[in-house]
Amino acid sequence: MSARSPLSVPEVMAGRELLVTGVTGFLAKVLVAQLLIDLPQIQRIHVLIRASREHDAEARFLRIAARSPAFRPLRERFGADLGAFLGARIEIHEGDVSEPLFGLGEHTVRMLAPRLDAIIHVAGLTDFAPDPRRALEVNVEGAIHAADLAARCERAVLVHTSTCFVTGLRQGHIPEEVALTTPRGKAWDPEAELAHLQALACHEADSESHSAQREARDVRIGAATARAELLGFTNIYTYTKGLAEGILLSRCKADERRREVSLTIVRPAIIECAERFPFKGWNEGINTTGPLLWLCKSFFRHFPSKDDNHFDLIPVDAVTRSMIAITAAAIAGRSDRVYQIGTSGSNPHTMGRGFELVNLAVRKDMATSEKKRERLVQRFFDNVTVPADVEHAFSPNRLKRLARGLKQTLESVQVGQMLPRGLSRSVGPALDRVKGNAEMFLEGADRQLGRVQRLFDIYRPFIHDNDWVFENGHIRALDKVLDDDSRERFGWVGDAIDWRVYWIDVLYPGLNTWCLPLLEGKEPPDDPAIPLVILPPMVGDEEGVTVLDAGDGDEKSDEERAEDREYLDTTHEIPVGHDADEDEGRDLGEMGA
Amino acid sequence: MQKAAFFKVEGPLVRTGPVPPATYYVLNQREFKARVSRLSGVLAAAGLSLASPLGEAQTATRLAWSNLRGMSEDRLHVLSEELYERQLLKALRAPGVELVEGAKRDGYVVVLITELLDLAVAPLAKRLGADHLVANRMEVKDGKATGRLLDPIVAQLSGQWANAFAKEHDIDLAQSLAYGASGGDALLLSAVGNPCVVHPDWRLRKIAKDHHWPIVESEARG
């Protein structure tokens, strides 16, 4: 950052037009809501939303505006006038980041080109082990399409949302720069790697049958996971995000056909519950710490983790504040290339402390539980961290073997043959029922323990194997050049987080309300819908006024539900009965976008 | 010069049992193994205190609290909060609270003295509007309790301590009040002009009778 006059975010943003992608996801929802409420000076916010099979982009955005807790402050402030307020500021574009120029028609691109000042590309597939075909389309090609669109614009800067965890297996202090090598330190050509990933993603099923499709997808996932490991990335998500960063460096350069695009990369760490905006504790979907917390509330007590490793969490509103300041700095030509929005560099806390704070939060919560089991017993069972490679007495694999062994033993027992005939006739049926129940219990335990182990395997790189300290000097330097008003609203707040207060009073209650119900097959609370009318016509839509009644557009399509369930069943590997968040931005591990 | 009212928390203000104050923390250590092994340390400290009541109070207090070594600072805070909300508040003695309020009305500087950790009693001091809180403080390094208490250790406060405190805060001890409940409080009580014992243990009762100190007994609950 150069030492010039203080940067006023409202002044820079006045009269600007922004395009935001990924608006159906957790992070971008909060970002758009905050832009709307804190920067009314902005001329227009264009939101890009993919249509689902049953709902078009407009209906999906209206559902967010009418019911999402992220928009609660807007509904509270504007009430019945919200529709008019949004109509004056929001322009909804139906599109798909996986298509060239986001699938926007040539007419729309031409219309946007002279108007856009920034493209804030937040859309991303945050599953840790997605189908690489989809990860390629959204995380890599989506970023390329964002750069292409920015290049078509007259002046738009590109603010690309990535993740701190693109660092992969590099350890220790991670600088704020795009790595020019793989995490294993070998030279790489991102364009060649893109071709490699495209080849991996091409693997097709032999037939149209569901099992063949599933098998082909598993082959693709296996190949991409192996490729990620070979390069030194922790999973497909960080691999594709890292690849996108490398490619953007070259794709944002000028050539004979396109202008140079100013590129700023925002790398959040693990995005968690809001500290203040839209309100304390809000979260959406199944994020990184949710499943861990869910396990901590069970009787499972031994977690593979290293106490001294850093645990880099960042509240979602701390990220959105920073993103707004960064966008303003980028528009003003005063931004750095990479911003790591994490806390480990300046306000660190460790895995050991995180797990301890979970203990204390659970203890506090269960002290007033209506369930006696929780109040009198479970709250006194604290979790402990254990080395992942040592098979201790309570490791899931050992318990799983025990459950299997017991089940096999039970199966080999013939109750009727072991008892005298008279006794067998009288108590035999009852004993058979007990035996049957025990077998079912052991089978369930076997299955659950397998899921727990797979969950640990997914999380292991983040809670056990690697210790990262993400430097965050750029965002702290930006904070210093903001003027007082901008610092108050958009300054860096990561250093002021009191982790005890955050975990116990914000994160735990937030996840308990907004995330854990999903893991238990229940619905988190949703805000009551308000009738909402957005007055200006949607781009290309001559019909004009759209009215959303309570519940309209509320239900997800079968396609969305099927996608969500498949995602949860295959990725989380824990019992669920509810859909997570929608498409891009859906979050097992909202690490970054 | 100001006049002060010294209140020992354990006894005059809060009903306490025979269990050493470190017990609650030790029983709520993170690991079961530590709960059991450290409890034996606390009980040993309690035994030492009973066996040599006059000379080893500080050693016994040090020993009891040393069993918290390794406990996270977060746990110390949360357990202290629990101790206050779930035990101290429930065991508050209404007559004791009235004495504090009366002392404040009469212009006394109110000083609460306790062998508990400051983290647990600070909310009580705030609630009662005390001017000073003299409590044990645990040393914390790198987010973990070392098990060492910071000076001054509150176990059996001496007349010397009372004189130093009075000098530091411009207090006239001869015009001051002190309320205690156990034999360990006798030295403090004898340092002020107006001592009073509240629900005394057998040792303090005997000393109070010998010195003709007033004895207050009331089981009304707060």
Q: What is the pLDDT of residues A86-114, one digit of tens each?
A: 999 999 999 999 999 999 999 999 999 99
What is the distance between the alpha carbons of residues B75 and A282, in angstroms, rounded to a whole number? 25
Is residue A583 domain-resident? no
Domain holding A252, by residue range, is 9-298+310-348+471-503+515-572
**pLDDT tens track for A144-173:** 999 999 999 999 999 999 999 999 999 999
- Best of A296, A347, A349, A360 to substitute, by most chain B Cβ atoms within 10 angstroms, is A360
Same domain, A88 and A168: yes
Is residue A38 domain-resident? yes
Q: What is the pLDDT of residue A591?
A: 45
- Best of A305, A353, A382 to substitute, by most chain B Cβ atoms within 10 angstroms, is A382
Pairing of strands B144-150, B132-141: antiparallel
Do residue B30 and residue A356 have CB atoms under 8 angstroms apart?
Answer: yes
Question: Nearest C-alpha of chain A: how many angstroms from B82?
Answer: 8
Q: What's the mean per-residue pLDDT of chain B?
A: 89
Query: Do residues A47 and A20 lie in contact, with contact meaning Cβ atoms separated by under 8 Å?
Result: yes
Residues of B in contact with A365 (CB under 8 A): none
Same domain, A489 and A452: no
Residues of A in contact with B86 (CB under 8 A): 367
Q: What is the pLDDT of residue B151?
A: 85
Predicted TM-score of the model (pTM): 0.87
User: What percent of chain A is predicted at pLDDT more than 70?
Assistant: 89
Closest residue by Cα to residue A591 from A458, A489, A495: A458
Do residue B75 and residue A360 have CB atoms under 8 angstroms apart?
Answer: yes
Output the six-digit token pair for A585: 């931005």
Q: Identify the sign of the CA torsion B163, B167, B168, B171.
A: positive
pLDDT value at A443 more than 70: yes
Same domain, A493 and A449: no
Question: Nearest C-alpha of chain B: how many angstroms from A306?
Answer: 16
Structural domains counted in chain A: 2
Do residue A353 and residue B72 have CB atoms under 8 angstroms apart?
Answer: yes
Coil, strand, or helix at residue A349?
coil
- CA B218 centroid distance within chain: 20
Residues of A in contact with B30 (CB under 8 A): 356, 359, 382, 384
Residues of B in contact with A359 (CB under 8 A): 30, 75
Q: What is the pLDDT of residue A291?
A: 86
What is the b/e burial string over A227-257, where b = at least 16 CB atoms within 10 angstroms of the residue's CB?
bbbebbbbbbbbbbbbbbbbbbeebbeeeee
Output the six-digit token pair for B60: 């016994």
Is residue A421 domain-resident? yes
Is residue A163 domain-resident? yes
* Range in A67-81, A283-297, A579-593, B63-77 with the lowest mean pLDDT: A579-593
Same domain, A454 and A555: no
Pairing of strands A532-534, A546-548: antiparallel
Please state the φ and ψ torsions of residue A128, each to the nearest 5 degrees.
-75, -30
Cis amide leading into B214 (omega within 30): no
Is residue A276 domain-resident? yes
Same domain, A318 and A426: no
Compute CA distances B42 → B60, B140, B171, whole Å. Answer: 9, 19, 36
Is residue A394 domain-resident? yes
Pairing of strands B215-216, A302-304: unpaired
Coil, strand, or helix at residue A316?
helix
The CATH number linked to A527 is: 3.40.50.720
Average pLDDT of span A394-418: 82
Coil, strand, or helix at residue A119?
strand
Output the six-digit token pair for B150: 């910071």
Strand-pairing partners, residue A386, are A304
Closest residue by Cα to residue B14 from B85, B121, B114, B88: B88
Coil, strand, or helix at residue B119?
helix
Residues of A in contact with B28 (CB under 8 A): 380
Output the six-digit token pair for A79: 């009430």
Between the ranges A79-88, A328-337, B25-34, B58-67, where is the mean pLDDT highest? A328-337
Other CB atoms within a 10 A radius of the CB of residue A20 amount to 25
Do residue B72 and residue A380 have CB atoms under 8 angstroms apart?
Answer: no
Cβ pairs bridging A and B (under 8 Å): 27
Output the six-digit token pair for A426: 């009288």
Other CB atoms within a 10 A radius of the CB of residue A139 amount to 32
Is residue A584 domain-resident? no
SS (H, E, C) A525-587: CCCCCCCEEECCCCCCCCCCCEEECCCCCCCCCHHHHHHHHHHHHHHHCCCCCCCCCCCCCCC
Output the six-digit token pair for A32: 């758009």
Instruction: Give the end-to-end CA distance of chain A in Å, rounded to a whole number.
Output: 25
Q: Identify the sign of the CA torsion A9, A14, A17, A23.
A: positive
What is the distance between the alpha carbons of residues A54 and A56, in angstroms, rounded to a whole number? 7
Closest residue by Cα to residue A122 from A258, A290, A312, A324: A324
Is residue A286 domain-resident? yes
Nearest residue of B to residue A301, measured between CA atoms? B31
**pLDDT tens track for A510-567:** 999 999 998 888 888 878 877 777 655 444 444 444 444 434 444 444 444 444 444 3
Which positions ≥6 away from A261 have C-beta within 8 Å? A147, A150, A151, A156, A157, A158, A252
Same domain, A155 and A180: yes
Residues of B in contact with A360 (CB under 8 A): 74-75, 78
Q: What is the pLDDT of residue A114?
A: 97
Question: Nearest C-alpha of chain B: how many angstroms from A500?
Answer: 7
Do residue A382 and residue B74 have CB atoms under 8 angstroms apart?
Answer: no
Compute CA distances B221 → A581, B12, B44, B164, whole Å. Answer: 53, 12, 32, 34
Do residue B30 and residue A357 have CB atoms under 8 angstroms apart?
Answer: no
Query: Do residues B12 and B127 lie in contact, with contact meaning Cβ atoms separated by under 8 Å?
Result: no
Do residue A360 and residue B78 have CB atoms under 8 angstroms apart?
Answer: yes
Do residue B74 and residue A364 have CB atoms under 8 angstroms apart?
Answer: no
pLDDT value at A3 more than 80: no
Same domain, A33 and A171: yes
The CATH class for the domain spanning B4-216 reads: alpha beta
Residues in chain A: 593
Q: For chain B, what are the domain ranges?
A: 4-216
Question: Nearest C-alpha of chain B: how many angstroms from A382?
Answer: 6
Do residue B74 and residue A353 have CB atoms under 8 angstroms apart?
Answer: yes
Closest residue by Cα to residue A302 from A210, A360, A403, A387: A387
The secondary structure of residue A93, as a DSSP letter, is E
Same domain, A291 and A244: yes
Same domain, A187 and A329: yes
What is the distance between the alpha carbons of residues B20 and B116, in angstroms, rounded to a whole number? 9
Coil, strand, or helix at residue B107?
coil
Same domain, A324 and A398: no
Question: Nearest C-alpha of chain B: how many angstroms from A353?
Answer: 8
Q: In this structure, what is the dihedral angle of CA atoms B215, B216, B218, B222, given to the nearest 10 degrees?
A: -140
Same domain, A326 and A398: no
Residues of B in contact with A353 (CB under 8 A): 72, 74, 143
Do residue B31 and residue A363 have CB atoms under 8 angstroms apart?
Answer: no
* Range in A28-42, A544-558, B208-222 with the lowest mean pLDDT: A544-558
Residues of B in contact with A384 (CB under 8 A): 30-31
Query: Which parts of A41-115 fold into alpha helices (H)?
Result: 57-67, 72-78, 82-89, 106-112
Same domain, A496 and A402: no
- Best of B24, B33, B72 to substitute, by most chain A Cβ atoms within 10 angstroms, is B72
